[in-house]
């Protein structure tokens, strides 16, 4: 496990350096830790917009091919391997599918690691204190008093408790400065809107009551994280191409269970499995966010809030740029088809009426002759 962890951190080291540099530049520009995290998130999520666009275009192409996929399903029947191969070939020929849809959530997950490192180790990435000096301060703190003055897990990379000790223990801070481990100018303010972003939000009433001025305002962060994520999930659902058709298909399937599993009804097979998985993710993700928000520094919660807001903004932009025009165009095509069908139906009725009149006239003429 250690080797795997070392490999992972080695691979992600360039991201730690890049994110740390961006955070430092933004902090120096705004002079505020919270604003630095907010604008760092905007930059990160903004860089992912092209991938969002590609993913949405791929979804639209997939939606346009749904009719052909249904035809393939009828052709291949129970031959799932043949059907999957034919679908993959169809998607490849039409430029649909691809890795963009899978790559986006993977990148969002990967970016959590460097963000966690930054918010857990601001002395490295913002104050630019060397790891050697941080290690020396940790050793000094562990030797001070009875059993040391540092609480919890402290390391050169994750040192929130070290920052707390430096802020609360004047003797410890003075000794660290005297020994050249840190400069006074490197002790930066990590508050935002009166909240200490190095503190982990607490759910335990005893902890909250012990320091209400610190912990009560921080409760807003987990609450906003959940609300933003629920809104994000619901928007991604209703702005998905073909969402209305899927809902109508579900209603038809409920009214007529015999239709369940038929092509185009969104029931049965891989499509049903995908929808079930997405539904579970829609409700599990906010719960996961809520749990992890109570185990990480509040700055991480601020990142998730901004990340969710950027997801909402991106979804709206992509919807009005691509999805809505596609839906409008699709509706126009369907309207034209209906008009042609009605016109051909009227023509057939008119033809049938003329034939009846002609037959009636012939019968009447025959009677007159008789």
Q: Left (φ > 0), alpha (ψ -120 to 50) or beta: where does 129 sit?
A: beta
Which of 319, 164, 156, 178 minimizes the C-alpha distance to 236? 319
Share of the chain above pLDDT 70, in %: 72
Which of 231, 252, 243 minimizes the C-alpha distance to 312? 231
The string of pLDDT tens digits covering residues 161-177 is 999 999 989 999 999 99
Predicted confidence at residue 152, as pLDDT, reads: 75
Distance CA 40, CA 27 (A): 10
* 8 Å CB contact between 116 and 295: no
Helix axes of 160-168 and 131-143: crossing angle, nearest 10 degrees: 60
Predicted confidence at residue 147, as pLDDT, reads: 77
As a whole number, the mean pLDDT across the chain is 78
What's the pLDDT band for 271 if we cut at 50, 70, 90? very low
Predicted confidence at residue 81, as pLDDT, reads: 73
Mean pLDDT of 143-154: 82
Share of the chain above pLDDT 90, in %: 32
Phi, psi of 195 (to 5 degrees): -100, 135
The string of pLDDT tens digits covering residues 10-50 is 678 888 889 999 999 999 999 999 999 999 999 998 888 88
The answer, as to whether pTM is greater than 0.85, is: no
CA of 104: how far to CAs of 50, 109, 287, in Å? 10, 9, 21
Predicted confidence at residue 175, as pLDDT, reads: 93
Lowest mean pLDDT among 3-12, 305-314, 316-325, 358-367: 358-367
Phi, psi of 162 (to 5 degrees): -65, -45
What's the pLDDT band for 277 if we cut at 50, 70, 90? low
Mean pLDDT of 233-238: 80
* 8 Å CB contact between 306 and 38: yes
Distance CA 48, CA 33 (A): 23
CA of 280: how far to CAs of 183, 276, 277, in Å? 50, 6, 5
Q: Residue 269: pLDDT above 70? A: no
Q: Two tokens at 49? A: 């917009």
Element of type H or E holding 191: strand 191-192
CA of 368: how far to CAs of 65, 357, 360, 363, in Å? 62, 17, 13, 9
What's the pLDDT band for 186 if we cut at 50, 70, 90? very high
């Amino acid at each position: 496990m250690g080797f795997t962890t070392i490999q992972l951190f080695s691979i992600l080291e360039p991201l730690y350096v890049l994110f740390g540099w961006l955070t430092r530049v933004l902090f120096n520009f705004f002079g505020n830790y919270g604003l630095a995290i907010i604008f760092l998130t905007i930059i990160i999520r903004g860089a992912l917009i092209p991938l969002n666009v590609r993913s949405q275009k791929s979804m639209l192409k997939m939606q346009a091919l749904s009719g052909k996929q249904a035809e393939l399903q009828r052709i291949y029947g129970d031959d799932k391997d043949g059907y999957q191969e034919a679908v993959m070939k169809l998607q490849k020929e039409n430029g649909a599918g691809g890795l963009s849809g899978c790559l986006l959530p993977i990148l969002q997950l990967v970016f959590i690691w460097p963000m966690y490192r930054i918010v857990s180790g601001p002395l490295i990435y913002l104050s630019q204190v060397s790891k050697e000096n941080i290690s020396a301060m940790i050793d000094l703190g562990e030797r001070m008093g009875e059993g040391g003055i540092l609480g919890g897990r402290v390391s050169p990379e994750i040192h929130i408790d070290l920052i707390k000790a430096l802020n609360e223990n004047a003797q410890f801070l003075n000794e660290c400065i005297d020994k050249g481990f840190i400069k006074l100018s490197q002790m930066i303010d990590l508050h935002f809107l009166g909240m200490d972003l190095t503190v982990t939000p607490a759910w335990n009433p005893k902890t909250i009551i012990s320091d209400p001025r610190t912990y009560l305002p921080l409760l807003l962060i987990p609450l906003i994280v959940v609300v933003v994520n629920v809104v994000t999930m619901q928007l991604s659902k209703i702005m998905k191409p073909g969402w209305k058709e899927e809902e109508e298909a579900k209603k038809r399937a409920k009214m007529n269970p015999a239709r369940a599993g038929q092509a185009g009804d969104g029931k049965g097979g891989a499509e049903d499995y995908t929808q079930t998985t997405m539904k579970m993710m829609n409700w599990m993700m906010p719960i996961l966010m809520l749990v992890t928000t109570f185990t990480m520094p509040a700055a991480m919660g601020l990142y998730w809030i901004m990340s969710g807001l950027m997801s909402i903004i991106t979804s709206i932009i992509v919807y009005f740029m691509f999805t809505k025009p596609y839906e409008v165009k699709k509706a126009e095509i369907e309207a034209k088809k209906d008009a042609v069908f009605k016109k051909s139906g009227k023509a057939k009725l008119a033809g049938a009426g003329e034939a009846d009149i002609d037959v009636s006239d012939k019968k009447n003429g025959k009677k007159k002759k008789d």
